[in-house]
Structure formats: structure tokens, C-alpha cells
Amino acid sequence: MRFEGHVRSWNNQRGFGFIEVRQGEQPVFVHIKAFADRSAPPGIGQAVTFEIAVGANGKKRAIAVQTPGAPRRARNHSPAQWGTARLFALPGFLLIYLVTDILWRVPGWVAVGYLVLSILCFVFYAIDKSAAKAGGRRTPEATLLLLGCAGGWPGAMLAQQLLRHKSNKAAFQSVFGASVMVNVGLFVALSSPLPAWTLARSGL
């Protein structure tokens, strides 16, 4: 027997949630693996139809979950559209880097560091995207943000656009944007004579 309901709550990090059943049943546990379409996590309030199975522990869980007529946008697997800020972020940083290098000679290892961290960050985003689809263990958002703040944000930005991952999550994007500004600010400050001047002033 198939039931109708809607997603009442969803833990995106752990890949499970609960379905509110329209027939008056108690909320039913559902795992991301129970969804026929796992290309994107379900949204709160999303309409679903499903069957109910009883596990060995006697608890009910939803299986064979489908989303007919669900109020969600059609998925587009092409890269996400670049916003104005993102469109100029990478070339803007390249310009800042070149000007900073002309003024104060940035060590070569800094560029290598940005490249390595960007590649690493892109890989972490790809792994997390794959885990989100498969219902596997997710990469903590704090890890993604920390890698970005350390210098991998160019790779993170490319991953968000090309993989369509985390690009529409407003809360994450707010923190990500702040981490990018912190990184660029520290890059300029540490490349300038400011650290040496500060040490000289302190007598160290």
C-alpha cells in the first residue's frame, strides 16, 4: 500500500529525516537511500508517496519513496549561473595578486599553495556531492569552509558552480563569502611590509 505525505524534517548532513503522513499516521523515518531520485536532497514540505516497511526493531520506515507532483524546481545539471560577485571574484583576486606581487614580491610558494589547496578543496566538494547523492557520510561544512579560508576558495568556488553543490545554500554562502574576504585580506596584509613593521615596533 502506498501512502501520501510530505517531508516534515530533514538532516542533510546525515541523510535522513521524517515524513508527515497524510493518513494520520505518526511521522515515518526515511533515509536518502529510500528515494528513487537521489540527485538532490529532499526539501522541507516536499510532497512524496511511499510504502512503509517495519524493521527488525519494530520501527516503521519509508521505502520506495517517489515525488510525483512535488513542488520543486526541475533540476538542471548544467553548471550554476555565475552571479555578479562570483563572476569577478577570481579575475579580481588575480589582479590583486599581481598588484601585490609588483609592490612587495609575493614568494612563489604562495601561488603553489593556493593551487594545491584549490585542487584539494574541489576534490572535497566532489566527494561531498557524491556522498549526498548516495546517502553516505558527508564532509562537514566546517571542513569545506576551513579549506576555503586557508586558500582553497578558488577551487571551492569552481566546484560550487560546476558541481552545483552548496551554491544555493544561503547560510553557507554567507559564511563562505566572509571566509573569502578574510583570506584575501590576510594575503594582502601578510604580503605587505606590515608584519615587519609591527615586529620592529614591538622590538622583536
pLDDT tens-digit profile of 148-190? Answer: 999 999 999 999 989 888 887 888 988 999 999 999 999 999 9
pLDDT of residue 133: 77
**Residues 126 and 154 reside in one and the same domain:** yes
Domain-terminating residue out of 39, 66, 93: 66
pLDDT digits (tens, 9 = 90+) for 142-155: 999 999 999 999 99
End residue of a domain, out of 18, 33, 66: 66
Statement to judge: residues 50 and 107 lie in one domain: no
pLDDT in tens, 59-106: 888 888 888 754 444 444 555 555 667 778 999 999 999 999 999 999
CATH number of the domain encompassing residue 45:
2.40.50.140
How many C-beta neighbours within 10 Å does residue 174 have?
A: 10
Backbone dihedral angles phi then psi of residue 92, each to the nearest 5 degrees = -65, -45
Give the whole-angstrom CA distance, residue 4 versus residue 118: 44
Pair 56, 88 in one domain: no
Are residues 90 and 179 located together in one domain of the fold? yes
| Domain identity same for 115 and 61 | no
Residue 57's domain spans which residues?
Answer: 2-66
Answer yes or no: do 28 and 88 share one domain.
no
Q: With 0-12 CB in 10 A as exposed, 13-18 as middle and 19+ as buried, what is 29? A: middle
Which of 49-63, 95-109, 116-130 has the lowest average pLDDT? 49-63
Whether 57 and 94 map to the same domain: the answer is: no
Judge whether 41 lies within some domain: yes
As for how many domains the chain has, the answer is 2
User: Amino acid identity of 15?
Assistant: G
Answer whether 61's CB lies under 8 Å from 3's CB.
Answer: no
Mean pLDDT of 36-63: 82
Instruction: Supply the pTM of this predicted model.
Output: 0.62
Decide if 109 is inside a domain: yes
How many CA atoms does the CB half-sphere of 61 hold within 13 Å?
16
